[in-house]
Amino acid sequence: MTRRWVVWALVAYLVVAALVLLAPVSYSEIIVGVWSWLRNDLGWLWFGAGWVEFAANVVMFLPLGFLLTLLLRHHVWGFVLALTLSVAAELVQSVIPSRVPSPRDVLANALGAALGAALAWLLVIRRERRAEQTADRNPAR
């Protein structure tokens, strides 16, 4: 996997995430709409609106943990940087009208970043390292 692709994907992600996280817009109507659909159309009465928002935050930060881990080549550093960016985004939201920072959001963001970092580590980096080790043991003649 080329490093250039990862950098471009990370830049694109950061632009979109910044627009979503820092826009002075309340997403409560979207959350309530998804929650109503789950409750009324699918019959998921147990799935509250808070869980919709939590799941959205997990999904939103999963690519960040994935891409940072690929870029930094280590799952812990990818996760730590993603967590730092999550906390920074929540702090910035405290000065934006109609946005409310939340420790629960940081938890969801961290969970998403950790899942993304773990996926990058398990699916890409470990496989590449095993291939390198195999190549080192069996050099081409």
Residue-level length of the chain: 141
Residues with Cβ within 8 Å of residue 99, at least 6 apart in sequence: 24, 26, 93
Which tens digits make up the pLDDT trace of 53-80?
A: 888 889 999 999 999 998 988 778 888 8
Cα 31 to Cα 41: distance, rounded to the nearest angstrom: 15
Say if residues 88 and 101 touch (Cβ distance below 8 Å): no
Mean pLDDT of 20-38: 74
**Residue ranges covered by each domain of the chain:** 3-20+48-135
Cα 55 to Cα 108: distance, rounded to the nearest angstrom: 7
Q: Which of 120, 28, 92, 16 is nearest to 60 (CA)?
A: 16
Instruction: Please list the alpha-helical segments (H only) found in 73-99.
Output: 75-93
Q: What is the pLDDT of residue 94?
A: 81
Band of residue 111 on the pLDDT scale cut at 50, 70, 90: very high
Q: SS3 for 138?
A: coil
Q: How many CB atoms lie within 10 A of CB 130?
A: 10
Q: Which of 56, 4, 66 is nearest to 35 (CA)?
A: 56
Which tens digits make up the pLDDT trace of 79-97?
A: 889 888 888 888 887 887 7
The distance from CA 53 to its chain's CA centroid, rounded to whole angstroms, is: 14
DSSP element (H, E) containing 103: helix 103-120
Which tens digits make up the pLDDT trace of 45-60?
A: 777 777 778 888 899 9
Say if residues 127 and 55 touch (Cβ distance below 8 Å): no
